[in-house]
C-alpha cells in the first residue's frame, strides 16, 4: 500500500477530462433496445377531446404507444399527489406529456410524434401571478411567520416605505438533458439508470405506476451531468416512461430529451411577486417589516410549497428585525410545474429585503452598507430569527469587516462617485451584500442519510451512499472522510454508483446537505469497522492466532492507532511493532470479522411547525458576503461585470478547491438569473426562449474581470461533515450583489427608476429604467 | 469522382458512403464509434460541448488543427481531414498537460462540458504559443459551462505550462495518414443515397455544369453550420447539395489595390485574421461574432446567403458598399449587396465572391453589437458607422457619412436618408439628434424573443448618440 498521500482532488476528474466518464446516454446500446419519446400538449389549458394514434401504423419502427389508460397509477407528487404522468382529461401546460411512443429507430420518433393528433378544446390559460390572483387558485393554505407586533411598530415608525419586487424564473440548463434507460430483469423486475438527483423517488414512482412492488425496481445513478434542483423531482416522469416501455415490451428502453424539449416541458425556478412595507428610523434602524410573497407554482404542486417555505424563512436575510410579518402563497398557473432550483426560494425572499434596504439608504441619503450594518444580526437579544430559531455562530460582522478591507470598499465608493460624475458614456455601481443560509431540508423527514462501507482485503474501500454525484464533489468529500477514519490515502476509497438496492429511502441530493447527511453516515459505518479492526489489532499484536471468537473478548482497544496505512499500539514500548492495514484486514477476514457495515444518520434537533410558523428548521447557517462592481453602458444598457470579491464561511473547510468551485459556480448562476437569463412566454403560455440560441446562460465573458474568493476561517463549530458547512446553494444568493450594484448605478441617474428595476436586469430593463428619467 | 468520404479519427482511417455521410459527426461518433466522450448538449453549435479538433492538410503536408462543433459538422465535410476527439488526446495512457491541469485545478465539475473545454484550450495552444488570459477568454467564448462559473476553468488554463504542450501535428505524426490526406484532399466527390446527394467538384466550371444539368434545386453548401442546425431541429433531410470545398479559387482572399475580394469558401476565421492585419476595426468587430468553432466552419458568404436581418457580417459589408460576384452558366456579373439582398440570384447562379473597397485611412469606423450575452449570441440591434470629415473654411465638415443597421428591418440595411442629411454638415449633438430621428423614420423594428420594439427604437437613437460620444472623446 502506498503511504504517501496523493493530492486530493475531485473524484472522477481524470475520467471527465479524458472523456471516459459514463453518463446515462453514454451507456452502450443493446441490440434490442428501443427509444422512447412522448407527444405533448401544445396548448396551455384545455380539455382533451380525442387522441388519434391511427397514423402510427405507418411507422414499422414504432413498436408501442401508451396513454393514461395504460397506467396502473397516474398521479404523483412528493408533497401533494396531484400530477399525472400522462394527461388524461385535461392538459394544463404546454409540453405536458399525453402519449408515450417507443420505436426501434430513434430517428423515426420526431415524425411519429407529429403523426399523433391531439384534439384539445382550448380553455383560457392563466400564465402570470397577476392573472392567478384573480382566480385565487392556490396550492395549500397561505402560510404566515410572525414575530413582534408589526401594526404597532409601523404606527410608531418615523418613516414607512413600501414597494414591490418581481422576478422571473430560471431554466436549470443542466448540461446533461433528462435521460433514463430501463432494463427488464428476469421478466418482472426493472433496473433503471437515470439522470436523477432522487433515485428512490424514481424507484417508488415507477413501482406504483406499474402496480408492482418497490422491491422489483432498482434505480442506479452513476453520476449526473448537472442537476441544480431540476432533477430532484422532474427526472422521475421520464424514468417512468422508459420503465413503462421496458416493462411492457420486455426490451431495454431509453429516453433522452432533446435540449429544446427539455427546456420547454420541465419546470423552472419560481417567479415571485413580493409586496413589502418597511418601517425605519432616521438613523436607518428597521423597526418593522411586512412582506407578502407570491410564487408562480405552475400547473402542479411539485415542491412549490417547500420552495415558498424557504423563501419565507430567508425573508429577513441577515437582519435582526423585532417586528416581522411574512406571509406567502403559491398560485396555480398553466406553466410547466415550477420546481427546485439551487437555493430553493431563498433568493426571492432575500432579494426583497435587500431591495427595501437599498430604498431606505436612498431615502436617507446614506451608504446602504450603513443600513445593513446597523440592522445586522448580533449578540443577544439581536439573535432570534422571525421563526424563533437562535442564530448561533454568527460570523457576519467579521466577514463583512474583512471583506470591506479586502475589497477596498470605501475608497472605491468615492472613485465610483467621481467616475459617474465625469463619464458621459458609462455608469458604475457598487454593492455589498451579506447572506445567511439555513442548512437542512425544511421538511425534517428528509434529513436522513445512509451509507454502506465495504473494506476489501487489499485495503481498498468501496463506499455507497444515498448521495448522487453531480459535479459538486460529494463523492470526494465522503471518500476523504472515510479515508480519514482509517488514516489511509483517499485514493484507496472508491465511491460507487448510488443504487437503491444498496441504499434505500435515499433523500434527494439537495438542500446543500448531502455531504453532511451521507458523509456522517459513512463515518459512522467506517468507525464501526475500525472498532472491530482495533480488536483484531490487539489480538494480532499479542500473537493470537485469530481463530477464537475475536469480538466477544474484552480488550483494551483505546490505544490502537491507525496512521498512514499502518496500525499499532501507541502505548506499547514496541512502537515499531506496526501492522500494515492490509495485513490486519487479511487477519480480520480469516478470523471471521465482518469488514462491511451499513450505517444511518439523521440530523439532530430539527423541527418546524408550519401552522404556527415557528421552529428550529436548520442545523446551522452558512454565511458570506460579496462586493460587486458593474459598469453600465448608458446608451445600450449592456453590463460589464468588473469585479466581485466574495468572503464565505464554510465552517472548517475540508476541501478548499471544491468549496471554491461551488462558490464560483453558484455565484455565476446567480449572476445569470439576475441579468441575462430570461424566460419569455407568449400570452398563451408558450415558452418562446426554449433554445440555447434564445435562452442565454452566462459565458466566460460574463465572468467578472476581477474575481476572488476567500474562505473565512470559522473552525471548531460543531455543524456539518467534519465541522464544514454546506456550500452548494448559499453563494447563489450572492449573485444578487450584481443586481444591487446595477440598482446602485442606476440610482445615480434615477433613484425612483432604480426602485422599479425588475429581475433579470437585462439591457432592455436597464434602458427602461434609464429612460424613466 | 470518388463516391465515398475518407477521413481519419484519432489516427484510424474511416471510409463512409451513402446516407451515412450526411450524419453529424457528434452523433456518428457517439452512436456508431462508441466514442462517447464527445457530448451533445444544444445540438445547434451554441455551447461547445461537442467541440473536436479538425486537422486540415496544408501545402507543406503538415496538418493545421482547429476546433469545430461536431454536432453541426456533417461527415461529408471531413473528407481528407483528421478528427481528433477527446479520446485522442491521451497518449500512451498519459493525459495531456491540458487535461491534467483541468483535472487538478478545479476546471471540471459535472464533467459534461469538460471534453469540449479540453478541446477549446487545446485549440488555443495550437494557435498561441504562450496564451494570455485574454486569449483564453476569447478562445473559450464558444464554450458554455453551467457548473464552474468559469473560475476553475480559467485557473486551470492559466496553470498550464506552455513548454509542455505538444502540437497535435507532432502528437499525431502518422506518415501514412498524412500522405493519404495530402493526396486525396483535392479529389472531387459525388455521393448519392435515396433522398440525398452531394457533389464536391474540383472546379467552378464543373460545378456550374452540374448545377445547369440538374433539374432540381441544388443547395450550395460550405461550412454547413445552418444546414446542421436545421437538420438537427427537424428540417427534412433531403435534397441535392453541392459543396465548394474543392474549388481552389473560392478559398482565397485577394487584395487588388484598394479592392478586397473574398472567395465563397473563405471562413469567418480566415477573414477575421485577414482583417486583424489589414482592417483592424473590422477585425475587432469580428471577435464579437459567433464563436471560434463556428467561425472556423462558417463562411463570410454563407452569412450573406442566409441573409438574416441580423447577419452580423452583413453589417460592415453593407456599410462598405460591398458587391457580390454571381457566377452562372452565362458568365459572371457584379451586383451591389443591397440589390442582391432585395432581388437574390438566378437559379443557375451562385455567389462566388464578395468584393469591397478598403475604407480610407482617414475614415473613422465604429461597429456596435448589442446582444444579451456578449459573445455567442445574436444581435438585438447592430450598427455600423463610417465618418470622413474635411476642413472647409476652418470647420470640420462631413464629407462622407454612412450608416448601416441590423435587427431593425427585414434585412441589414443602410439608412440613405440619414446619409444624405449628414452630408456637408458639421458633427454636433444637434445634427446627431436630427439624424437619429430620421433613422427612426427609416427603420421598421419589431419585437421578438430577444427584445421589444421599444428597446430597438431606443437603441437606434442611442447608438447614434454613442457614436457621437465616442467621436467627441476621440477628438
Q: Residue A410: which CATH number?
A: 3.30.365.10
Residue in chain A lying closest to B229 (CA): A693
| Cβ contact B110–A175 (<8 Å) | yes
Classify the C-alpha dihedral B148-B150-B156-B162 as positive or negative.
positive
Contact B95 A696 (CB under 8 A): no
CATH class of B364-474: alpha beta
Query: Residues of A with CB below 8 A from B92's CB?
Result: none
> Do A345 and A265 contact (CB within 8 A), yes or no?
no
- Say whether pLDDT at A3 is over 80: no
Contact: B147, A665; criterion CB under 8 Å: yes
Contact residues on chain B for A223, CB-CB shorter than 8 A: 110-111
pLDDT confidence of residue A7:
46
Put simply, the chain B residues between 71 and 110 with a CB less than 8 A from any chain A CB are 85-87, 89-90, 95, 99-100, 102-110
CA nearest A739: which of A680, A679, A672, A678? A672
The band of A253, judged by pLDDT with boundaries at 50, 70 and 90, is: very high
* Contact check, Cβ <8 Å, A763/B146: no
CB A500 within 8 A of CB A506: yes
Q: What is the pLDDT of residue A721?
A: 96
Predicted local confidence at residue A562, as pLDDT = 95
- Catalytic residue of the set A359, A597, A729, A765: A729
Residue A326 lies in a domain: yes
Closest-CA residue to B272 (of B259, B257, B290) = B290
Residue A383 belongs to some domain of the structure: yes
pLDDT value of position A2: 34
> What pLDDT band is residue A490 in, cutting at 50, 70 and 90?
very high
Last residue of a domain, one of A256, A281, A313: A256
Does residue A212 lie within any of the structural domains? yes
What does the alpha-carbon distance between residue A86 and residue A99 come to, in Å, rounded to a whole number? 7
* A70-113 confidence digits (pLDDT tens): 999 999 998 999 999 999 999 999 999 999 999 999 999 999 99
Answer whether residue A481 is part of any domain: yes
Q: What is chain A's alpha carbon radius of gyration, rounded to the nearest angstrom?
A: 28
Q: Tell me which chain B residue has its CA closest to the CA of residue A659.
A: B106
Q: Is a pLDDT exceeding 80 seen at residue A716? A: no
- How far apart are the C-alpha atoms of B304 and B280, rounded to whole Å? 21
Average pLDDT over residues A745-765: 96
For the segment A289-313, what is each residue's pLDDT rounded down to a tens digit? 999 999 999 999 999 999 999 999 9
Whole-number pLDDT of residue A11: 65
Read off the pLDDT of each residue in B10-16 and give the average, rounded to a whole number: 98
A-chain CB neighbours of B31 within 8 Å are 29
Residue A408: Cβ within 10 Å count: 12
Answer yes or no: do A39 and A98 share one domain: yes
- How far is Cα B199 from Cα A754, in angstroms, rounded to an integer? 59
Total beta-carbon pairs less than 8 A apart between chain A and chain B: 238
Q: Looking up cell 453532511, which residue turns up?
A: A516
Beta-carbon separation of A17 and B85 below 8 A? no
pLDDT tens-digit profile of A355-376? 999 999 999 999 999 999 999 9
State which of A558, A577, A602 marks the end of a domain.
Answer: A602
- What's the half-sphere exposure (Cβ side, CA atoms, 13 Å) at A248? 23
Tell me: do A596 and A706 sit in the same domain.
no
Mutate to test the interface with A, among B110, B151, B460 (most CBs of A within 10 A): B110
Tell me if A415 is assigned to some domain: yes
Dist CA A763 CA B397 (whole Å) = 34
pLDDT band (50, 70, 90) for residue A10: low
Find chain B residues with C-beta within 8 A of A697's C-beta. Answer: 144, 146
Return the residue of A nearest to B111 by Cα.
A16
Average pLDDT, stretch B204-229? Answer: 92
A224 lies in the same domain as A340:
no
CATH number of B97-165: 1.10.150.120
Could you name the CATH architecture of B5-88+171-243?
Answer: Roll (3.10)
Between CA A761 and CA A739 the distance in angstroms is 7
Q: What is the pLDDT of residue B311?
A: 79
Q: A673 and A736 in one domain?
A: yes
Task: Determine the pLDDT at residue B306.
Answer: 76
A709 in Cβ contact with A641 (< 8 Å): no
Which residue from B117, B116, B148 is spatially nearest to A471, judged by alpha carbons? B148
Cβ distance B146 to A669 less than 8 Å, yes or no, reads yes
A409 and A509 inside one domain? no
Residue A672 lies in a domain: yes
User: pLDDT tens-digit profile of A663-697?
Assistant: 999 999 999 999 999 999 999 999 999 999 999 99
Tell me which chain B residues have a C-beta less than 8 angstroms from the C-beta of A21.
Answer: 111
* Range B248-357 classified under CATH 3.40.190.10: no
Q: Is the peptide bond before A381 cis (omega within 30 degrees of 0)?
A: yes
A603-620 mean pLDDT: 95
CA distance A613 to A608: 7
Contacts of B367 in chain A (CB under 8 A): none
Q: Is A499 a residue whose pLDDT tops 70?
A: yes
Calpha distance B91→B139 (Å, rounded): 24
Look at A635 and B462 and tell me if their CB atoms are within 8 Å. yes
Domains contained in chain A, number:
3
- Range of the structural domain that residue A452 is part of: 448-602
CA of A327, closest CA in chain B: separation in Å? 33
Q: Do B35 and A174 count as a contact with CB atoms less than 8 A apart?
A: no
Domain shared by A548 and A685, yes or no:
no
One domain, residues A375 and A422: yes
* B92 confidence band (pLDDT: 50, 70, 90): confident
Q: Describe the strand order of the beta sheet including A566-569 as a list of residue ranges.
A: A560-563, A566-569, A579-580
**Out of B99, B146, B449, whose CB is closest to A174?**
B146
Residue A4 banded pLDDT, cuts 50, 70, 90: very low
**pLDDT category of residue B215 using cuts at 50, 70 and 90:** confident
Q: Is A729 a catalytic residue?
A: yes
Nearest residue, CB atoms, B86 vs list A10, A19, A657: A19
Q: Are B44 and A691 in contact (CB < 8 Å)?
A: yes
Please give the pLDDT value at position B214: 86
The distance from CA A516 to its chain's CA centroid, rounded to whole angstroms, is: 14
B373 to chain A, any CB pair closer than 8 A? The answer is yes
Residue whose entry in the numeric block shows the C-alpha cell 428501443: A34
DSSP-assigned letter for residue A339: -
Here the cell at position A24 is 446515462
Chain B residues 403-462 with a CB less than 8 Å from chain A: 449-452, 455, 458-459, 462
A632 pLDDT higher than 70: yes
Q: Is the pLDDT of residue A621 over 60?
A: yes
Q: In terms of domains, do A593 and A641 share one?
A: no
Please write the tens of the pLDDT for every residue from A640-667: 999 999 999 999 999 999 999 999 999 9
Q: Three-class SS of residue B99? A: helix
Whether B386 has a pLDDT exceeding 60, the answer reads yes
Q: Alpha helix (H) ranges present in A391-544?
A: 396-406, 409-422, 474-486, 514-541
- Going by pLDDT thresholds of 50, 70 and 90, the confidence category of residue A333 is very high
User: Which has more confidence, B214 or B420?
Assistant: B420
More confident: B211 or B111: B111
User: Residue A9: pLDDT above 70?
Assistant: no
Residue B374 touches partner A, C-beta closer than 8 Å: yes
Provide, as residue numbers in chain A, all residues whose Cβ is less than 8 Å from the Cβ of B195. none
> How far is the C-alpha of B193 from the C-alpha of A541, rounded, in Å?
77
Closest chain B C-alpha to A699 CA, distance in angstroms: 6
Tell me: do A343 and A296 sit in the same domain: yes
Q: Where do the domains of chain B lie? A: 5-88+171-243, 97-165, 248-357, 364-474
The predicted structure's pLDDT at residue A547: 65
Question: Binning pLDDT at 50, 70 and 90, where does residue A246 land?
Answer: very high
Cβ distance B151 to A664 less than 8 Å, yes or no, reads yes
Say how many C-beta atoms besides its own lie within 10 A of residue A534's C-beta. 21
Comparing alpha-carbon positions, the chain B residue that sits nearest to A174 is B146
Beta bridge partners of A679: none
Contact B30 A26 (CB under 8 A): yes
| pLDDT mean across residues, chain A | 95
Please indicate, yes or no, whether residues A486 and A437 belong to a single structural domain of this protein: no
Q: Which pLDDT band holds residue B281 (cuts at 50, 70, 90)?
A: very high
Report the distance separating Cα A37 and Cα B91, nearest Å.
Answer: 39
Average pLDDT, integer, range A137-166? 96
Q: Mutation test of the interface with chain A: which of B112, B226, B235, B385, choosing the one with the most A Cβ atoms within 10 A?
A: B112
- B466 in reach of chain A (CB within 8 A): yes
Domain boundary among A256, A283, A316: A256
Determine the pLDDT at residue A68.
98
SS percent in chain B: helix, strand, coil, step 5:
40, 25, 35
Sorted by sequence, the CB contacts under 8 Å of residue B317 that are 6+ apart come out as: B300, B304, B337, B354, B356
Q: Residue B41 and residue A226: Cβ atoms within 8 Å?
A: no
Q: What is the per-residue pLDDT for A5?
A: 34
Give me the mean pLDDT over the A233-252 stretch. Answer: 98
Q: Which residues of A touch B34 (CB under 8 A)?
A: 28
Amino acid at each position: 500500500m502506498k503511504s504517501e498521500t496523493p493530492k486530493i482532488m475531485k473524484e472522477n476528474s481524470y475520467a471527465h477530462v479524458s472523456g471516459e466518464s459514463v453518463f446515462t446516454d453514454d451507456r452502450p446500446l443493446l441490440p434490442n433496445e428501443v427509444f422512447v419519446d412522448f407527444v405533448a400538449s401544445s396548448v396551455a389549458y384545455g380539455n382533451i377531446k380525442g387522441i388519434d394514434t391511427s397514423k402510427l401504423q405507418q411507422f414499422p419502427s414504432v413498436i408501442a404507444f401508451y396513454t393514461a389508460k395504460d397506467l396502473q397509477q397516474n398521479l404523483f407528487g412528493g408533497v401533494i399527489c396531484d400530477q399525472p404522468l400522462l394527461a388524461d382529461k385535461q392538459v394544463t401546460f404546454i409540453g405536458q406529456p399525453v402519449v408515450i411512443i417507443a420505436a426501434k429507430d430513434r430517428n423515426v420518433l420526431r415524425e411519429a410524434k407529429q403523426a399523433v393528433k391531439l384534439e384539445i378544446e382550448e380553455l383560457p390559460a392563466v400564465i402570470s401571478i397577476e392573472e392567478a390572483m384573480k382566480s385565487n387558485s392556490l396550492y395549500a393554505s397561505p402560510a404566515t411567520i410572525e414575530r413582534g407586533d408589526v401594526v404597532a411598530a409601523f404606527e410608531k415608525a418615523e418613516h414607512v416605505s413600501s414597494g414591490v419586487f418581481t422576478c422571473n424564473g430560471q431554466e436549470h440548463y443542466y448540461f446533461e438533458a433528462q435521460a433514463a434507460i430501463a432494463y427488464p430483469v428476469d421478466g418482472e423486475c426493472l433496473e433503471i439508470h437515470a439522470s436523477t438527483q432522487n433515485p428512490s423517488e424514481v424507484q417508488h414512482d415507477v413501482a406504483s405506476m406499474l402496480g408492482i412492488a418497490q422491491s422489483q425496481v432498482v434505480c442506479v445513478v452513476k453520476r449526473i451531468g448537472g442537476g441544480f434542483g431540476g432533477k430532484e423531482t422532474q427526472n422521475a416522469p421520464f424514468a417512468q416512461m422508459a420503465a413503462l416501455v421496458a416493462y411492457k415490451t420486455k426490451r431495454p428502453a431509453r429516453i433522452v430529451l432533446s435540449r429544446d424539449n427539455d427546456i420547454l416541458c420541465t419546470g423552472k425556478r419560481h417567479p415571485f411577486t413580493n409586496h413589502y412595507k418597511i418601517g425605519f428610523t432616521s438613523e436607518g434602524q428597521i423597526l418593522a417589516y411586512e412582506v407578502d410573497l407570491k410564487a408562480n407554482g405552475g400547473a402542479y404542486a411539485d415542491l412549490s410549497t417547500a420552495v415558498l417555505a424557504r423563501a419565507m424563512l430567508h425573508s429577513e436575510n441577515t437582519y435582526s428585525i423585532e417586528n416581522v410579518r411574512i406571509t406567502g402563497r403559491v398560485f396555480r398557473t398553466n406553466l410547466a410545474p415550477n420546481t427546485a432550483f439551487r437555493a430553493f426560494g431563498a433568493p426571492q425572499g432575500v432579494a426583497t429585503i435587500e431591495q427595501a434596504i437599498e430604498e431606505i439608504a436612498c431615502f436617507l441619503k446614506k451608504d446602504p452598507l450603513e443600513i445593513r450594518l446597523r440592522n445586522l444580526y448580533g449578540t443577544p437579544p439581536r439573535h432570534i430569527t422571525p421563526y424563533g430559531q437562535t442564530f448561533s455562530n454568527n460570523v457576519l460582522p467579521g466577514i463583512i469587516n474583512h471583506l470591506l478591507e479586502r475589497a477596498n470598499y470605501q475608497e472605491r465608493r468615492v472613485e465610483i462617485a467621481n467616475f459617474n460624475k465625469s463619464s458621459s458614456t458609462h455608469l458604475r455601481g457598487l454593492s455589498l451584500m451579506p447572506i445567511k443560509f439555513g442548512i437542512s431540508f425544511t421538511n425534517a423527514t428528509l434529513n436522513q442519510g445512509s451509507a454502506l462501507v465495504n473494506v476489501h482485503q487489499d485495503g481498498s474501500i468501496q463506499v455507497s451512499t444515498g448521495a448522487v454525484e453531480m459535479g459538486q464533489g460529494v463523492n470526494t468529500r465522503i471518500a476523504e472522510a472515510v479515508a480519514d477514519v482509517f488514516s489511509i490515502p483517499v485514493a484507496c476509497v472508491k465511491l460507487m454508483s448510488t443504487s437503491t438496492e444498496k441504499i434505500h429511502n435515499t433523500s434527494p441530493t439537495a438542500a446543500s446537505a448531502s455531504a453532511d447527511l451521507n458523509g456522517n453516515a459513512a463515518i459512522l459505518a467506517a468507525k464501526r469497522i475500525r472498532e472491530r479492526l482495533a480488536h483484531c489489532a490487539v489480538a494480532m499484536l499479542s500473537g493470537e492466532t485469530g481463530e477464537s471468537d475475536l469480538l466477544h473478548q474484552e480488550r483494551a482497544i483505546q490505544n490502537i492507532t491507525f496512521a498512514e496505512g499502518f496500525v499499532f499500539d501507541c502505548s506499547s514500548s514496541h512502537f515499531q511493532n506496526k501492522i500494515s492495514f492490509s495485513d490486519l484486514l487479511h487477519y480480520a477476514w480469516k478470523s471471521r470479522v465482518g469488514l462491511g457495515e451499513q450505517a444511518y444518520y439523521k440530523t439532530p434537533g430539527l423541527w418546524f411547525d408550519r401552522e404556527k410558523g415557528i421552529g428550529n428548521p436548520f442545523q446551522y447557517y452558512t454565511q458570506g458576503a460579496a462586493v460587486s462592481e458593474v459598469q453600465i453602458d448608458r446608451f445600450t444598457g449592456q453590463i460589464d461585470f468588473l469585479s466581485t470579491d466574495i468572503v464565505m464561511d464554510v465552517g472548517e473547510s475540508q476541501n478548499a478547491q471544491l468549496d471554491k468551485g461551488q462558490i464560483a459556480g453558484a455565484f455565476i448562476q446567480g449572476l445569470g438569473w439576475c441579468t441575462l437569463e430570461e424566460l419569455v412566454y407568449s400570452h398563451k403560455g408558450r415558452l418562446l426562449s426554449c433554445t440555447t440560441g434564445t435562452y442565454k446562460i452566462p459565458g466566460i465573458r460574463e465572468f467578472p474581470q476581477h474575481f476572488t474568493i476567500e474562505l473565512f476561517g470559522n473552525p471548531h463549530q460543531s455543524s456539518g461533515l467534519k465541522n464544514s458547512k454546506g456550500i452548494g446553494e448559499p453563494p447563489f444568493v450572492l449573485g444578487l450583489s450584481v443586481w444591487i450594484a446595477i440598482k446602485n448605478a442606476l440610482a445615480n441617474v434615477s433613484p425612483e427608476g432604480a426602485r422599479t428595476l425588475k429581475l433579470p436586469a437585462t439591457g432592455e430593463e436597464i434602458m427602461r429604467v434609464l429612460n424613466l428619467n | 469522382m470518388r463516391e465515398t468520404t475518407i477521413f481519419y479519427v484519432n489516427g484510424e482511417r474511416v471510409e463512409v458512403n451513402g446516407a451515412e455521410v450526411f450524419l453529424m459527426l457528434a452523433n456518428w461518433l457517439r452512436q456508431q464509434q462508441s466514442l462517447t466522450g464527445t457530448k451533445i448538449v444544444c445540438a445547434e453549435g451554441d455551447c461547445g460541448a461537442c467541440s473536436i479538433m479538425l486537422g486540415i492538410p496544408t501545402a507543406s503536408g503538415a496538418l493545421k488543427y482547429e476546433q469545430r462543433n461536431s454536432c453541426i459538422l456533417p461527415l461529408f465535410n471531413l473528407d481528407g481531414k483528421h478528427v481528433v476527439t477527446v479520446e485522442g488526446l491521451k497518449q500512451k495512457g498519459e493525459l495531456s498537460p491540458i487535461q491534467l491541469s483541468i483535472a487538478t485545478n478545479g476546471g471540471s465539475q459535472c464533467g459534461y462540458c469538460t471534453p469540449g473545454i479540453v478541446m477549446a484550450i487545446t485549440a488555443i495552444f495550437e494557435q498561441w504559443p504562450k496564451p494570455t488570459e485574454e486569449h483564453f477568454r476569447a478562445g473559450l467564448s464558444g464554450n458554455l459551462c453551467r457548473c464552474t462559473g468559469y473560475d476553475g476553468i480559467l485557473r486551470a488554463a492559466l496553470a498550464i505550462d506552455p513548454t509542455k504542450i505538444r502540437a497535435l501535428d507532432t502528437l499525431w505524426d502518422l506518415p501514412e495518414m498524412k500522405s493519404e490526406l495530402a493526396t486525396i484532399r483535392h479529389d472531387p466527390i459525388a455521393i448519392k443515397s435515396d433522398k440525398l446527394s452531394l457533389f464536391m467538384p474540383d472546379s467552378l466550371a464543373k460545378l456550374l455544369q452540374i448545377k445547369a444539368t440538374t433539374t432540381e434545386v441544388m443547395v450550395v453548401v460550405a461550412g454547413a453550420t445552418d444546414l446542421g442546425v436545421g437538420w438537427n431541429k427537424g428540417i427534412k433531410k433531403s435534397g441535392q447539395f453541392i459543396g465548394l470545398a474543392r474549388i481552389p479559387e473560392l478559398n482565397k482572399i485577394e487584395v487588388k489595390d484598394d479592392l478586397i475580394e473574398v472567395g465563397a469558401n473563405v471562413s469567418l476565421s480566415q477573414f477575421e485574421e485577414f482583417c486583424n492585419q489589414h482592417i483592424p476595426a473590422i477585425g475587432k468587430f469580428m471577435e464579437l461574432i459567433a464563436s471560434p468553432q463556428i467561425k472556423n466552419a462558417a463562411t463570410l458568404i454563407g452569412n450573406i446567403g442566409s441573409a438574416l436581418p441580423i447577419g452580423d457580417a452583413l453589417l460592415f459589408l453593407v456599410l462598405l458598399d460591398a458587391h457580390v460576384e454571381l457566377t452562372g452558366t452565362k458568365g459572371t456579373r457584379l451586383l451591389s449587396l443591397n440589390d442582391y439582398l432585395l432581388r437574390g440570384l438566378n437559379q443557375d447562379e451562385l455567389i462566388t465572391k464578395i468584393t469591397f473597397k478598403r475604407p480610407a485611412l482617414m475614415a473613422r469606423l465604429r461597429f456596435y453589437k448589442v446582444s444579451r450575452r456578449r459573445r455567442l449570441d445574436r444581435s438585438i440591434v447592430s450598427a455600423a458607422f463610417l465618418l470622413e470629415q474635411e476642413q472647409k473654411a476652418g470647420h470640420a465638415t462631413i464629407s462622407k457619412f454612412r450608416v448601416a443597421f441590423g435587427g431593425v428591418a427585414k434585412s441589414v440595411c443602410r439608412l440613405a436618408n440619414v446619409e444624405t442629411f449628414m452630408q456637408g454638415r458639421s458633427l454636433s449633438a444637434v445634427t446627431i439628434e436630427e439624424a437619429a430621428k430620421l433613422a427612426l423614420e427609416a427603420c421598421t423594428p419589431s419585437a421578438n424573443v430577444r427584445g421589444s420594439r421599444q428597446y430597438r427604437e431606443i437603441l437606434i437613437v442611442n447608438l447614434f448618440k454613442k457614436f457621437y460620444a465616442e467621436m467627441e472623446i476621440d477628438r
